[in-house]
Structure formats: C-alpha cells, structure tokens
C-alpha cells in the first residue's frame, strides 16, 4: 500500500514538472514573439527570435531572460518605458497566465 502511494506521488510530481516545463516554453515563445515585434521584426524573424528565447531559458531564470530581452530591445533602439524591467516582467507574467490557461494547467 505504501509503495502504491509512493509511486502515485512520484507520478504526480513528474507530471507537474512536465506541465510546468511546457507552460514555461509556451510563455517564453509568446514573450519572444511580442518582443520581436516590438523590435520591428516580421515573419520568420519573429519565430526565430521566439525559439531562441525559449531555448535560452532552459535554466529557468526569469531575471536572466528579462536582461537578455532588455539588451536586445536596446540594440534595436527600443528604450524607456517600452523596455522597462517592470513592463517586461508584467508581460512575462501575463504570458505565463495565458500559457497556463491554454495548456489547462492548475495554479
């Protein structure tokens, strides 16, 4: 009985990690698309940048992700309020909520 319960807990944990990974990947792609458009990118360049951000965020450090996007925005001449850390964090949180809803993830 204990082993069955233990296996069920392990399976639940693995599932939660898998869902969290997919939510984060979708969030990062949406965030990347938004940032790419803000930089004036179009079509394939938008998707390329979105994939780049999703892959580069493997370690899960939101601060690092925001720093990379801020630097890229500055390189494209997007500065001030449009590229503030607060705005980027709010967008990242919004895309996280959208990704969770889209994938049916619970809080």
Q: Where are the domains of the chain?
A: 2-103
Give the CA count within 13 Å in the CB-facing half-sphere of 3. Answer: 0
> What does the block give as tokens for 25?
């990947």
Task: Point out the least confidently predicted range of 27-31, 57-61, 85-89.
Answer: 57-61
Q: What is the dihedral of CA 74, 76, 80, 81, to 10 degrees?
A: -110
The pTM of the whole model exceeds 0.75:
yes
The predicted-structure confidence for 49-81, as pLDDT tens digits, reads as follows 999 888 876 567 788 888 888 888 988 888 777
2-103 is a CATH 1.10.790.20 domain: yes
Q: Write down how long the chain is.
A: 107
> What does the block give as tokens for 54?
């999703």
Region 25-53 average pLDDT: 92
């Amino acid at each position: 009985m204990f082993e069955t319960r233990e296996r069920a807990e392990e399976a639940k944990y693995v599932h939660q990690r898998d869902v969290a990974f997919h939510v984060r990947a979708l969030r990062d792609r949406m965030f990347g698309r938004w940032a790419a458009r803000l930089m004036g990118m179009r079509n394939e360049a938008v998707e390329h940048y979105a994939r780049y951000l999703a892959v580069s965020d493997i370690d899960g450090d939101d601060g690092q992700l925001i720093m990379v996007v801020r630097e890229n925005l500055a390189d494209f001449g997007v500065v001030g309020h449009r590229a503030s850390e607060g705005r980027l964090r709010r967008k990242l949180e919004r895309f996280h909520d959208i990704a969770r809803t889209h994938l049916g993830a619970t809080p």
